[in-house]
């Protein structure tokens, strides 16, 4: 099936491996991605933090473009982009908003927005995923880390249980992995505070990774570029704060799926991580 694709700024740069692995995995489960033409930055945290109108406008343009290009649904792998696009769709419908001429706000409001877990679970389906897993990830014990924006706030995300989600565990289970039971799956990673208030973010990263390690995880599965960046690039500082070794690869769920589907690590971008993730390809 065809679906619109909104990579967002990070998937073309710091989260390149998310883009690569998502495309590879979607192809393998029959989801044809059609990148929205001329998409712009959704505004991420910066826009909504200082101007609600700007946030709805920037995100809304992408939905209007999708509608123009005949796409009635869009996959936004980045959790923040997902949240912003959904928020815009809801408010374009509820309050109306002034968009530049040539952009149809009504049509934009009607575009359905999916995050990667939603797309895998409900558009592709666990059966398809199971079938495609020619090299199951037996023995892998990932800590499924949802972060904030995939499930919160519940009236925006409208996805899974905001206190006890299971979508990631279901998907990982379908490819043979054994996700660990741990209790920091929904704790905030600090987001852009990693830049503006680094010590606060390092504290949060340390709590999350410390808990994952204590639960016996051998890697952390994520579905958000901000979370991936923070847990990966700030891991050394977090380890120093905890006074213990962490050494946890932080991988996108699509990278793990890609490995299970037998796709080569380079095609998935597995070599681009700060904390080495290639070892997961070797061990599988």
Partner 1 sequence: MRRVGVFVCWCGSNIAKTVDVAKVVAEAAKLPGVVYATDYKYMCSEPGQKMIQAAIQEHHLDAVVVSSCSPTLHESTFQRCIADAGLNPYVFQMANIREQCSWVHSDRDLATAKALDQTAIAVGTATKGRPLARSEVPITKRALVIGAGIAGIQAALDLAEAGYPVTVVERQPSIGGRMAQFDKTFPTMDCAACILTPKMVDAAKHPNITLLTWSEVEKVAGYVGNFEVAIRKRARSVNAEKCIGCGVCEEKCPSKVTSEFDAGLGTRKAIFRPFPQAVPNVPVIDRDHCRHFQTGKCGVCAKVCPAEAVDYDQGDELLSERFGAIVVATGCDLYDPARMTEYGGGRFADIITGAQFERLVNVGGPTEGHIVRLSDHQAPKTVVFIQCVGSRDDTKGYPYCSKVCCMYTAKHATLVKEKLPGCEVYVFYMDIRAAGKGYEEFVRRAQEDLGVKYLRGRVSRIYPAGDQLRVKGADSLAGVAVEIDADLVVLATALRARDDVAAVARMLNIQTDQYGFFTEAHPKLRPVENIFAGIYLAGACQYPRDIPDTVAAASAVAGKVCGLFARDSILSEAKISEVNAARCSGCLTCKEICPYDAIEAEIITDRITREERTVAKVNEAVCQGCGACVAACRAAALNLRGFTDEQILAGMEALCRE
Partner 2 sequence: MRFPRSDGSPVADLTFAEAVAARSGENIAACYQCAKCTAGCPLAPDMDLAPNQVLRCVQLGMRDTVLASSGIWLCTTCATCATRCPRDIDLARVMDTLRAMALESGVTPAQPQTPLFYRLFLGLVRRGGRLNEVPLMAAYGLLTRNPFKDLLLGQKMFVKGKLNPIAPKVRDIAQVREIFAISEKSTTKTQRHEVKGS
Nearer to partner 2, 39 or 145 (CB): 39
Closest approach of partner 1 to the CB of residue 184, in Å = 8
Closest approach of partner 2 to the CB of residue 44, in Å = 7
Nearer to partner 1, 112 or 241 (CB): 241
Selection from partner 2, partner 1, none that 183 binds (CB < 5 to 8 A by kind) is partner 1
Q: Does 242 bind partner 2 (CB under 8 A)?
A: no
Selection from partner 1, partner 2, none that 50 binds (CB < 5 to 8 A by kind) is partner 2
Selection from partner 1, partner 2, none that 164 binds (CB < 5 to 8 A by kind) is partner 1
Q: Does 180 bind partner 2 (CB under 8 A)?
A: no
Nearer to partner 2, 132 or 160 (CB): 160
Closest approach of partner 1 to the CB of residue 161, in Å = 7
CA-based torsion, 263, 159, 154, 106: positive or negative: positive
Question: Can you tell me which of 23, 114, 213, 273 binds partner 2, judged by CB under 8 A?
Answer: 273
Nearer to partner 1, 101 or 183 (CB): 183
Q: Does 200 bind partner 2 (CB under 8 A)?
A: yes
Nearer to partner 1, 9 or 214 (CB): 214
Three-class HEC string of the chain: CEEEECCHHHHCCCCHHHHHHHHHHHHHCCCEEEECCCCCCCCHHHHHHHCHHHHHHHHHHHHHHHHHCCCCEEECCCHHHHHHHHHHHHHHHHCCCCCCCCCCHHHHHCCEEECHHHHHHHHHCHHHHHHHCCCCCCCCCEEECCCCCCCCCHHHHCCCCCCCCCHHHHHHHHCCCCCCCCCCCCCCCCCCHHHHCHHHHHHHHHHHHHHHHHCCCCEEEECCHHHHHHHHHCHHHHHHHHCCCCCCCEEEHHHHHHHHCCCCHHHHCHHHCCCCCHHHHHHC
Closest approach of partner 2 to the CB of residue 4, in Å = 17
For partner 1, the binding residues (CB under 8 A) are 161, 163-164, 183
d(Cα 25, Cα 88) in Å, to the nearest integer?
28
Q: Give the contacts of 156 (CB within 8 A, at least 6 positions apart).
A: 83, 86, 87, 90
Selection from partner 2, partner 1, none that 240 binds (CB < 5 to 8 A by kind) is none
d(Cα 171, Cα 149) in Å, to the nearest integer?
18
Question: Can you tell me which of 186, 214, 242, 278 binds partner 2, judged by CB under 8 A?
Answer: 186
Question: Can you tell me which of 25, 29, 36, 58 binds partner 2, judged by CB under 8 A?
Answer: 58
* Interface ranges with partner 2 (CB under 8 A): 9-10, 12-16, 38-41, 43-54, 56-58, 61, 90-91, 94-95, 97-100, 102-103, 148-149, 152-156, 158, 162-163, 186-188, 190-193, 195-198, 200, 204, 233, 271-274
């Amino acid at each position: 099936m065809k679906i619109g694709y909104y990579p967002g700024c990070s998937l073309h740069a710091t989260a390149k491996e998310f883009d690569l692995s998502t495309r590879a995995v979607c192809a393998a489960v029959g989801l044809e991605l059609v990148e929205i033409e001329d998409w712009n930055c959704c505004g991420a945290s910066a826009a909504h933090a200082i101007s609600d109108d700007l946030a709805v406008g920037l995100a809304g343009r992408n939905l209007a473009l999708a509608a123009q290009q005949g796409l009635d649904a869009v996959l936004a792998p980045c959790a923040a982009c997902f949240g912003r696009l959904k928020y815009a769709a809801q408010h374009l419908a509820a309050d109306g908003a002034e968009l530049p001429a040539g952009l149809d706000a009504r049509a934009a409001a009607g575009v359905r927005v999916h995050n990667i877990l939603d797309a895998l679970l409900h558009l592709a389906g666990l059966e398809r995923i199971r079938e495609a897993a020619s090299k199951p990830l037996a023995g892998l014990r990932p800590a499924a880390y949802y972060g904030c924006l995939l499930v919160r706030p519940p009236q925006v995300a409208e996805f899974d249980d905001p206190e006890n989600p299971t979508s990631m565990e279901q998907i990982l289970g379908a490819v043979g992995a054994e996700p660990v039971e741990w209790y920091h799956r929904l704790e905030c990673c600090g987001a852009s505070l990693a830049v503006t208030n680094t010590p606060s973010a390092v504290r949060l990263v340390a709590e999350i990774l410390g808990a994952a390690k204590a639960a016996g995880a051998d890697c952390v599965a994520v579905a958000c570029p901000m979370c991936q960046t923070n847990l990966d690039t700030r891991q050394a500082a977090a380890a120093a704060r905890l006074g213990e070794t962490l050494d946890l690869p932080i991988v996108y769920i699509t990278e793990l799926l890609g490995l299970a589907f037998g796709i080569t690590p380079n095609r998935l971008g597995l070599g681009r991580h700060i904390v080495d993730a290639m070892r997961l390809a070797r061990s599988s």
